[in-house]
Structure 1
Amino acid sequence: MEYCFGVDVGGTSVKIGLFSTEGILVEKWEIKTRTENGGEKILPDIAGSLEKKRIAHHLTKEQIAGIGLGIPAPVGEEGIVKNTANLGWGYKEVKRELEELTGYTVEVGNDANLAALGEMWLGAGKGQKNMVMVTLGTGVGGGVIVGGHPLVGGHGAGGEIGHICVNETETKPCGCGKLGCLEQYASARGIARLAEKHLKESTLPSCLRGRENSAKSVFDALKKGDKLAEEIAEEFGAYLGGALANVAVVADPSLIVIGGGVSKAGEIVITYIEKYFRKKQFFANSGTRFELASLGNDAGICGAAKLLLQRLGE
């Protein structure tokens, strides 16, 4: 039997999975992401961890088909990153360097694209070939799958849904430096920011008053029937649902998967997104369904392994 590794590099930890090439997750583990000194230890640490696990599982090097790697940055099929926000890397030939360190074939992709690919392969999108995934966490990540393959684009930035401009009147910059990005309203931080705005502008009584709020506290209050929380959720839904209707006109997904920490609030999140998606949808997208992501933190390693297997099969 052949095996492969799926690796998801984050700013704090690197998640790693050993998979059979049939899609069975044999073992998963994490190592620390050492970002000091320009992140020079990250790839050697990964290479060392993979070799230890190969030996522990009594596998020969010939039994390893290769490594799929997800990176939190735009990255093209050549496996080169120009810059990263959280890893300390500037220009880096990730594919070449990890291949030299390990002796295995390496395929590299953007982490959000690979999370979408993972959900298509083994999660909520199983059986789908055209889907969009949105991850609502600290920021808003996106992945677009067309014909079973992630949309990479000419600069490795395909699927950056969080940076669609949804508010032309915004005066505070997004983390990317632009104004009015979807991420400013639909991420966990964005929802907390909407809560702060509504608490200032509204006189409605609310359990959200007199406390520090988060996306979780907003959706918890919403489930209890809090009217101010409902107003916040409506605005969140309008921004995200409207943006996804625009994405759907271009990508025509059969399924939109909602993941990330915010999605842990459950189906109520989809209720508000889908409401505004339906208001804005093009008629041909009326059959597009919504689902919550099902793989959780494993989506990235699953998608990384799948990317490798797809490219080996091409």
Structure 2
Amino acid sequence: MTNKKLIGVDLGGTTIKFAILTAEGEIQEKWSIRTNVLDEGSHIVPDIIESINHHLDLYKMNKDQFIGIGMGTPGTVNRELGTVIGAYNLNWKTTQNVKEQIEAGTGLPFAIDNDANCAGLGEAWKGAGNDGDDVVFMTLGTGVGGGVVANGELVHGINGAAGEIGHMIVEPDHGYLCTCGNKGCLEQYASATGIVHLAQDATEEYEGDSPLKAAVDNGEEVTAKMVFDLAKEGDYLANTVVDKVCFYLGFAAANLSNTLNPESFVIGGGVSAAGDFLLDRVKTNFQKYAFPTVRTSTEVKLAQLGNDAGVIGAASLATKFAD
């Protein structure tokens, strides 16, 4: 393997994370800057270029030492052209020629993909996926995202929408309305915001004593973490909410795994910080709904890389430029 390095960029709505990695995916340096979304996001790409060039100067490195740059971004990505559109949390409403600008500004080859796909690549390569060729990654944050790696390659689909795990329908017709326009998407039940929605609805129907009910009734800010913490402390109402969340997650994981039979089904994102308390209940539902062969061959796991998954996966995009 080459001694040359990779640069990974994980572009988010509040923070841009950067890392310099070995060709084997080991992080050697990392830093971050705030995302400036003012003026229709026009500062973002120049800020990325300036930050990369500044840090290469700082570390006394030159572009000949690098294979290339890979970046994960929100929005709809054209991987061939290196453009992004519709990343509304970045104020990118029109097409952004990211590849063209960054290659011109840094002198390095550049590759780009969706941020959830990049996190999936990271976990598949250096995290819970153990460098497996068949890995499904689901990230539970404000929404539910995902990435599917099959035969060692990211699955993109005909128009780049493969891996939209959050929009798997788990409550047809009568479920919560999703931002995508459908009803009953997984995102509305297993994301951080979905869990709060479930908790609020469960509280309305519950007549017993419960710290969760008291918090909702008192107008306190309820979070997914609060729901899980109260469930761990034995709050009956909170536990019924967690059971429901884990049903949806196990049901979705089983259906995806019945279709793809991955080696690993990896669950990450902020909600996964609940750890085995979440995982054990998800596994119970997975076992119930999985096809017998899948039940014994696909392992449901928690993600291992945390906030580094995105930069590691993004950097792996640039390995295609290696000699």
**TM range, normalised to the smaller chain?**
over 0.9
Which letter does structure 2 place at the counterpart of 1:84? A
The alpha-carbon deviation at position 236 of structure 1 amounts to 0.8
Cα distance in 1 for partners of 2:38, 2:306 equals 28
Cα distance in 2 for partners of 1:130, 1:171 equals 31
Asked if 2 retains the 8 angstrom alpha-carbon contact of 1:77 and 1:152, the reply is no
Which letter does structure 1 place at the counterpart of 2:88? A
Cα distance in 2 for partners of 1:284, 1:87 equals 43
**Which whole-Å deviations, capped at 9, do the CAs of 1:29-56 have from their partners, x for residues lacking one?**
1111111122111111101100011111
Asked if 2 retains the 8 angstrom alpha-carbon contact of 1:204 and 1:227, the reply is no
Cα distance in 1 for partners of 2:100, 2:256 equals 33
Structure 1 range deviating more: 241-250 or 259-268: 241-250
Cα distance in 1 for partners of 2:231, 2:71 equals 38
Please give the root-mean-square deviation of Cα atoms over the aligned residues, in Å.
Answer: 1.6
Which letter does structure 2 place at the counterpart of 1:204? G
The alpha-carbon deviation at position 172 of structure 1 amounts to 4.6
Q: Map residues 9-88 of structure 1 onto 2, 5 A cutoff.
A: 9-78=11-80, 79-88=82-91
The alpha-carbon deviation at position 175 of structure 1 amounts to 2.4
Asked if 2 retains the 8 angstrom alpha-carbon contact of 1:74 and 1:155, the reply is no
5+ long unaligned stretches in structure 2:
none
Which letter does structure 1 place at the counterpart of 2:161? A
Match of 2:298 in 1: 288
Asked if 1 retains the 8 angstrom alpha-carbon contact of 2:69 and 2:111, the reply is yes
Match of 1:272 in 2: 281
Asked if 1 retains the 8 angstrom alpha-carbon contact of 2:70 and 2:318, the reply is yes
Report the number of matched residues: 313
Match of 1:255 in 2: 264
Asked if 1 retains the 8 angstrom alpha-carbon contact of 2:175 and 2:185, the reply is no
Secondary structure, aligned partner of 1:134: strand
The alpha-carbon deviation at position 74 of structure 1 amounts to 3.1
**Which whole-Å deviations, capped at 9, do the CAs of 1:207-242 have from their partners, x for residues lacking one?**
212213221111111212222122111211121211
Cα distance in 2 for partners of 1:150, 1:243 equals 19
Match of 1:235 in 2: 244
Pairing partner for 2:315 from 292, 305, 311: 305
Secondary structure, aligned partner of 1:125: coil
Structure 1 range deviating more: 131-140 or 97-106: 97-106
Secondary structure, aligned partner of 1:86: helix
Match of 1:110 in 2: 114
Match of 1:128 in 2: 132
The answer on 1:164 being equivalent to 2:173 is no
The alpha-carbon deviation at position 26 of structure 1 amounts to 1.2
Cα distance in 2 for partners of 1:8, 1:70 equals 5
Asked if 2 retains the 8 angstrom alpha-carbon contact of 1:254 and 1:289, the reply is yes
Pairing partner for 1:143 from 147, 166, 174: 147
TM-score (structure 1 length as normaliser)? 0.95
Asked if 1 retains the 8 angstrom alpha-carbon contact of 2:176 and 2:185, the reply is no
Match of 2:97 in 1: 93
Pairing partner for 2:223 from 200, 210, 214: 214
The alpha-carbon deviation at position 81 of structure 1 amounts to 2.3
Asked if 1 retains the 8 angstrom alpha-carbon contact of 2:40 and 2:91, the reply is yes
Cα distance in 2 for partners of 1:128, 1:261 equals 23
Cα distance in 2 for partners of 1:292, 1:246 equals 18
User: Share of identical aligned residues, percent?
Assistant: 43
The alpha-carbon deviation at position 144 of structure 1 amounts to 0.8
Asked if 2 retains the 8 angstrom alpha-carbon contact of 1:8 and 1:70, the reply is yes
Match of 1:4 in 2: 6
The alpha-carbon deviation at position 58 of structure 1 amounts to 1.3
Secondary structure, aligned partner of 1:268: helix
